[in-house]
Amino acid sequence: MISAGYVRTISLTPPALGNNTADVQRLEQALKKELKTRFVHLPWSLSASLPAQLREWGWKAKVLLFKDRRSFRVVDLLDPKDPEPVLGAAVDIGTTRMVISLIDLETGKKLAETGLDNPQAEIGPDVLTRIHHARTPAGRKELQRLAVEAINRHLARLCRDNRVAPERVFLLAGAGNTAMTHLFAGLPAFGIIQEPYIPCTNIPDTLAAERLGLAIHPRGQVFLFPNIGSYFGGDLLAGILAADLDRKQDPCIMVDVGTNAEIVLGNRDWLMACAGAAGPALESGVSQMGMTAKPGVIDRVSVEPFTRDLIIHTIDGQPPVGICGSGMIDLAASLFSSGRIDIRGKLVPEACGGRLTEVDGMTAFVLVDACSSGTAGPIRLSQVDLNSLTSAKAAMYTILEVIVSQMAGLSFSDLERFYVAGTFGSFIDPTSAITIGMLPDIPIDRFQVLGNTSLKGAEQVLTDPDAFDRVMAIRDTITYIELNVNQQFMNLFSGAKFYPHTDTSRFPSVKV
Amino acid sequence: MISAGYVRTISLTPPALGNNTADVQRLEQALKKELKTRFVHLPWSLSASLPAQLREWGWKAKVLLFKDRRSFRVVDLLDPKDPEPVLGAAVDIGTTRMVISLIDLETGKKLAETGLDNPQAEIGPDVLTRIHHARTPAGRKELQRLAVEAINRHLARLCRDNRVAPERVFLLAGAGNTAMTHLFAGLPAFGIIQEPYIPCTNIPDTLAAERLGLAIHPRGQVFLFPNIGSYFGGDLLAGILAADLDRKQDPCIMVDVGTNAEIVLGNRDWLMACAGAAGPALESGVSQMGMTAKPGVIDRVSVEPFTRDLIIHTIDGQPPVGICGSGMIDLAASLFSSGRIDIRGKLVPEACGGRLTEVDGMTAFVLVDACSSGTAGPIRLSQVDLNSLTSAKAAMYTILEVIVSQMAGLSFSDLERFYVAGTFGSFIDPTSAITIGMLPDIPIDRFQVLGNTSLKGAEQVLTDPDAFDRVMAIRDTITYIELNVNQQFMNLFSGAKFYPHTDTSRFPSVKV
């Protein structure tokens, strides 16, 4: 049971001749006292039934609240003896995948969670195509409907599995990047991708679920995380919340590699955010080349200490079919630590031996040969792939260096925690990432994988009224820095293209 | 043109690469600056169209605002070149009559005004019958619909006469007593008349016009004046606002005689209100016996100085058909000053001469004989009628004495202004009222008739954003006093039953 959540059972002093406050104001006053706040908004639609309810319920009510930018607001009033659970739904509105969880608002417990492909991918797998499609009101409506209907369907299933009606879901909180938030809400999004990159809104605020067609309680309310700007979205704010960055004493950093590389640095006194133009470089090096996790995908690569053979691990132990991002980083680290690539990131023929082959005039390393593969052909890493990875890891390190050293005036060792957010980051082995010079060489125990912080942040907003104010405060105070790829950046970038770095003193733990 | 009203034309700085605030927040920020306020609520429904509008209108917009208890709110956004007027409607929601006025929100000018019978009288002419009828949701709905449809009809006519569409009415403000406000809004009202006299709500706050079925702009907003309690309604708050009582330096008093006698006393530092149980006595003495104003009704009576004949004046100069409240007070004053009634309020046969007659064993004064009358019979005032008037005037004076002297510790001469509100009060001749000892003997120029203060207050709320906050502040700070008819009251009342009073020193201007 969470005593300070959005569901409160309130007892009122019954009226009397000397105490003749009106019913609505009687409840408002009790709620203000209970919530220690100056104002509680009770919507007009709940007024007419209140007198009979209060008398029937013996001057008690189970009050379901939520917040908007102006105050607490009453979402619904329930019989204090109502035995059905009071639920909320959290949604990670991802470009490719969405995740929904069902939360009991009275206990704070998660009842269920499910993932689904974002059906907006029918219109276009990438954000750009979707934003173009959303130029007309009909296109916006279509994209919005696709996402909402999929959520309705999956939410209905989660509810059925838990033997509750979807009408028992009163609150929904969603976190996505700026474009996804706009498309989910049916807002024009074209300004996001067109200079000077102006979103329609950065603060959707709390709104009625029925406005979006969400099939939850008719009076249900929806909170969509605000954005900082076109390239810094609500998913990141949810991440800051989930990581408690805004409450830390010592500076911490959070890195989320998704469509962009997004970095937040700071503590309870200051926060700075940076979404880099280097993000796409990073992505093309890691995410795009890598496959999404599924059975047979190589997710771990290591070196056998004696034989120096490469040991691969696939998801579910199935025959290998490809390699994912975390596997790529492991592979590069293994190749480097076993001397198969040099400090410039080039494959070393002498060390690779028979594993080297040539494809279309390009050297490639054969990780799995055709007969061991789960596909018809061999699984290879070409020098071009490797060069992309080198650029990507160099970009990542350079962005980190710029924000931590140049902008915040800190050194990496000042960071109390290094949070890795996002699905991709969840699987990276920090030791491998350090080995190739992608992440700074700080003690391994300072790295912490947060998993799906969009979902976690959304869940937090459903269960903790303080979270709303924290999100708004973070949004208002965070300094957003546009990363300029200038000459100085390029100089740092060149140094970071080595394995682990031209300045090896930065990576004492990496034995070259 | 009113520069500080609810219609503002806002110019925005166009976005640029270094100034990439989202469209919604760009407008919000400009409005906060323009209105010098911390928060402006822009409803979700206006977000989607904003980007295209701002670009089409060259980063200008005519913004129509209103207030609710939490902040300013944007009601609609208009093309700054939109040539049509932006209107508001003020409504005095009276038990018997309603009055509607049409206000140009940009100039603050009144375009038209009309009165209509409250069609809820079909259900019952008195409030009690209506409240009983409103015990069922269907009954509430019916009463609500009757009032709203009548307003829609008359508002449509006013608009047609002024060649504007009713959709150009964006705001509506209504003031009525607590019961009428509840019935207009479709809220359960039974608590108002049943011990311990608990209204459903004392603060309806701003709400969507469409919720009440009002046929104004689809996004139109309605403000209903709040109540202090069951017996002190929004009409009185509107009156305090219209009289500027909350801004006076020296204490002033406002008296409204309607269904109850309601009195407000105070200045900018304190306000006290009193709605008396003596009200009905007053009404039965004056209002009920008197007729409503219509052609032929005697509204003025005076004494010819030489002949001491009574001179009557009728509305529109038509043959007399009856007498209204103000005529009654004039008549009593004339009878007293001409010695036709004595200090106990009894008809003096020697002074009345042939004017006296007997009806059903009761002495009566013939004011107009049958042949001069516009009806078939004579117009008479019986001793019983006179006794009622005596009780009524005594009750009025006693209430004033209790609130001014006993409760506020002031004397009548401390009152800088004596405001008379309400339709009935509008026609009273203060000199006559002083002559019979109904009103205190203070200089005549301190009396001021305010007319329909419900309507005036409602109009003020439409045109002056400060008025909203003043209403809420008055509501929160006013001290409401329940008048107890105790022994002390009865003693004062007995003294006040004389003409003008047992203590004649209180009425130096009245020559007995």
Put simply, the answer to whether A39 touches B203 (Cβ < 8 Å) is no
State the DSSP H helix or E strand holding residue A312, giving kind and residue range, or none if neither.
strand A310-314
Angle made by CA atoms A28, A33, A38, in degrees to the nearest 5 = 70
pLDDT tens digits, A96-113 = 999 999 999 999 999 999
Put simply, the answer to whether B39 touches A69 (Cβ < 8 Å) is yes
Q: Return the closest-CA partner of residue A335 out of A355, A315, A319, A317.
A: A355
CA dihedral A279, A254, A302, A504 (to 10 degrees): 80
Decide: helix, strand or coil at residue B251. Answer: coil
Chain B residues within an 8 Å CB radius of A13: none
Put simply, the answer to whether A19 touches B191 (Cβ < 8 Å) is no
DSSP one-letter string for B28-68: HHHHHHHHT-S-EE--GGGTTTHHHHHHHTTSEEEEEEEE-
Q: What is the pLDDT along chain A (512 residues), one digit of tens a residue?
A: 556 899 999 999 999 988 889 999 999 999 999 999 999 999 999 999 999 999 999 999 999 999 999 999 999 999 999 999 999 999 999 999 999 999 999 999 999 999 999 999 999 998 999 999 999 999 999 999 999 999 999 999 999 999 999 999 999 999 999 999 999 999 999 999 999 999 999 999 999 999 999 999 999 999 999 999 888 899 999 999 999 999 999 999 999 876 567 899 999 999 999 876 544 445 455 544 567 778 999 999 999 999 999 999 999 999 999 888 889 999 999 999 999 999 999 999 999 989 999 988 899 999 999 999 998 889 999 998 899 889 889 988 998 999 999 999 999 999 999 999 876 677 889 999 999 999 999 999 999 999 899 999 999 999 999 999 999 999 999 998 877 778 888 999 999 999 999 999 999 999 76
Q: What is the distance between the alpha carbons of residues A127 and B324, in angstroms, rounded to a whole number? A: 76
User: Token digits for B59?
Assistant: 């980063």
Q: What is the distance between the alpha carbons of residues A335 and A324, in angstroms, rounded to a whole number? A: 16
Identify how many contiguous H helices and E strands chain B contains and give both numbers: 16, 22
The single-letter DSSP state of residue B406 is I
Put simply, the answer to whether A198 touches B52 (Cβ < 8 Å) is no
With 70 as the cut, is the pLDDT of residue B99 above it?
yes
Angle made by CA atoms B497, B501, B507, in degrees to the nearest 5 = 150
Q: What is the distance between the alpha carbons of residues A32 and A18, in angstroms, rounded to a whole number? A: 21
User: Token digits for A409?
Assistant: 């005036």
Q: What is the chain A residue with the closest CA to B223? A: A44
Q: What is the distance between the alpha carbons of residues A65 and B189, in angstroms, rounded to a whole number? A: 26
ipTM score: 0.90
Q: What are phi and psi of A25, to 5 degrees?
A: -70, -30
Q: What is the distance between the alpha carbons of residues B420 and B334, in angstroms, rounded to a whole number? A: 21
Q: Return the closest-CA partner of residue B328 out of B408, B431, B433, B419.
A: B433
User: Token digits for B458?
Assistant: 């409602």
What's residue A288's pLDDT? 47
**Helices B178-185 and B234-242: angle between axes, nearest 10 degrees:** 110
Q: Which of A22, A70, A140 sits opposite B41 (nearest CB)?
A: A70
Percent of all residues in chain B with a pLDDT value above 90, rounded to a whole number: 81
User: Token digits for A169?
Assistant: 């879901």
pLDDT tens digits, B167-179 = 999 999 999 999 9
pLDDT tens digits, A126-163 = 899 999 999 999 999 999 999 999 999 999 999 999 99
Put simply, the answer to whether B229 touches A203 (Cβ < 8 Å) is no
Decide: helix, strand or coil at residue A473. Answer: helix
| Residue A242 identity | A
Chain A residues within an 8 Å CB radius of B137: 48
Task: Point out which residues pair with A221 in neighbouring strands.
Answer: A171, A208
Q: Which of B20, B198, B200 sits opposite A20 (nearest CB)?
A: B198
Mean pLDDT of B437-458: 95
Disruptive mutation site among B19, B143, B202 for chain A (greatest number of A CBs within 10 Å): B202
Q: What is the distance between the alpha carbons of residues A292 and A298, in angstroms, rounded to a whole number? A: 10
User: Judging by beta carbons within 10 Å of its beta carbon (0-12, 13-18, 19+), is residue A29 exposed, middle or buried?
Assistant: middle
Put simply, the answer to whether B23 touches A201 (Cβ < 8 Å) is yes
With 80 as the cut, is the pLDDT of residue B289 above it?
no
Disruptive mutation site among A44, A53, A72, A135 for chain B (greatest number of B CBs within 10 Å): A44
What's residue B287's pLDDT? 46
Chain center to CA of B21: 47
Q: What is the distance between the alpha carbons of residues A136 and A188, in angstroms, rounded to a whole number? A: 8
With tokens 């409450």, the residue in question is A247
Q: Which of A25, A50, A69 sits opposite B202 (nearest CB)?
A: A25
CA dihedral A106, A111, A117, A120 (to 10 degrees): -20
Q: What is the distance between the alpha carbons of residues B255 and B262, in angstroms, rounded to a whole number? A: 6
What's residue A425's pLDDT? 74
Put simply, the answer to whether A20 touches B197 (Cβ < 8 Å) is yes
CB-CB contact of B229 with B199 (8 Å): yes
What's residue A289's pLDDT? 53
Q: Which of A25, A71, A200 sits opposite B24 (nearest CB)?
A: A200
State the DSSP H helix or E strand holding residue A169, giving kind and residue range, or none if neither.
strand A169-176
The single-letter DSSP state of residue B484 is P
Read off the pLDDT band of B275 (50, 70, 90): confident
Task: Point out which residues pair with A447 in neighbouring strands.
Answer: A418
Shortest alpha-carbon distance between residue B476 and chain A (Å): 12
pTM of the predicted structure, to 2 decimals: 0.91
Q: What are phi and psi of A438, to 5 degrees?
A: -85, -40
The single-letter DSSP state of residue B188 is -
Which sign, positive or negative, has the C-alpha torsion B461, B466, B468, B474? negative
Q: What is the chain B residue with the closest CA to A53? A: B200
Chain A residues within an 8 Å CB radius of B21: 198, 202
- Buried b or exposed e, range B369-391, using 16+ CB within 10 angstroms: eeeebeeeebbbbbbebbebbbb
Question: Among the listed ranges A55-64, A427-436, B214-223, B245-254, which one has the minimum average pLDDT value?
Answer: A427-436
Query: Which residues are within 8 A (CB) of B142 and not within 5 positions of it... i.e. 6 or more apart?
Result: B123, B133
What's residue A237's pLDDT? 96
What's residue B279's pLDDT? 45
State the DSSP H helix or E strand holding residue B423, giving kind and residue range, or none if neither.
helix B422-426
Query: Which residues are within 8 A (CB) of B186 and not within 5 positions of it... i.e. 6 or more apart?
Result: A48, B140, B141, B143, B144, B212
Shortest alpha-carbon distance between residue A21 and chain B (Å): 6
The single-letter DSSP state of residue A194 is S
Read off the pLDDT band of B288 (50, 70, 90): very low
pLDDT tens digits, B407-441 = 999 999 999 999 998 766 778 899 999 999 999 99
pLDDT tens digits, B31-58 = 999 999 999 999 999 999 999 999 999 9
Read off the pLDDT band of B2 (50, 70, 90): low
CB-CB contact of B226 with B471 (8 Å): yes
Q: What is the overall mean pLDDT for chain B? A: 92
